[in-house]
Amino acid sequence: ELHLIFHVSLADSGYGAEENYRYMEEDNMEAYVKYNRFHIEHRKHYAPNPFSTEGMYYNKEQDFYVCPMGQHMERIGTKHRKTDSGYITESARYRAKNCSGCPLRGQCFKATGNRVIEVNHKLNAYKKKVADLLTSEEGLRHRGRRCIEPESVFGQIKYNMAYRRFRHFGKDKIAMDFSFFVITFNIKKLCKMLLKGGCNDLHTLIKHLLEWILRLKLNTIVFLSYKQMKIAT
């Protein structure tokens, strides 16, 4: 179970961004994290729009796209963007040679000149990897559990424990605030697990709990709590 907690990451599509996928990859986590079009792309009769970049043929070796009129769209450069957190994304730009007079022009794009498309290949590679994970047997199992497990924790945190807002200002203080909260939350969960396992007198409960903490080491609990904090903030 501990192995799973360290290496598997589950989250909804709100977290399906390149910087998060990269963070999880660098931390050796298996990312069972959907991206925003995952469900649309995995509908039974889904076919991509032929005018969208997903619908066009891409030649990886020679790095060009082919538009619906059969015209090669050659690479013309790279565009960088900075996210709010400072992460730099990279999109390859491709341009059609001549769109004037094309009978599909009206359906294809609205701007003036020749059509230019931008493709984030790194993000697409992450999406492909994630889609394979999510549609695997393990992925289906995680997806079935994800909708139940975190939502009930949000309910416990926000409703039962009335933790609806941070008590401090500033990133560091909030990190400290939430870290302490999740440390105690995880210890509370451990107690419940021990009680469930038949440990119902206080002395034995404390003894088992201390044994658990020593076995897991407190820094593991802090580490897991820190991870939860990082995901939540």
Where along the sequence are the contacts to ligand SF4 (CB under 6 A)? 67-69, 71, 96, 99, 102, 104-105, 108, 115
Q: What strands lie across the sheet with 116-119, from one edge to the other?
A: 57-59, 64-66, 72-82, 88-96, 116-119
Shortest distance in whole angstroms from residue 45 CB to ligand SF4: 24
Could you give the residue ranges of the DSSP H alpha helices within 27-97? 38-41
Structural tokens at position 22: 């990269």
3 state DSSP class of 8? strand
Would you say 15 or 65 has its CB closer to ligand SF4?
65
Shortest distance in whole angstroms from residue 154 CB to ligand SF4: 45
The number of residues making up the chain comes to 233
Shortest distance in whole angstroms from residue 118 CB to ligand SF4: 14
| Dist. CA 185–CA 182, nearest whole Å | 5
Would you say 111 or 214 has its CB closer to ligand SF4?
111
Would you say 77 or 113 has its CB closer to ligand SF4?
113
Would you say 19 or 74 has its CB closer to ligand SF4?
74
Shortest distance in whole angstroms from residue 64 CB to ligand SF4: 12
Structural tokens at position 87: 């992460």
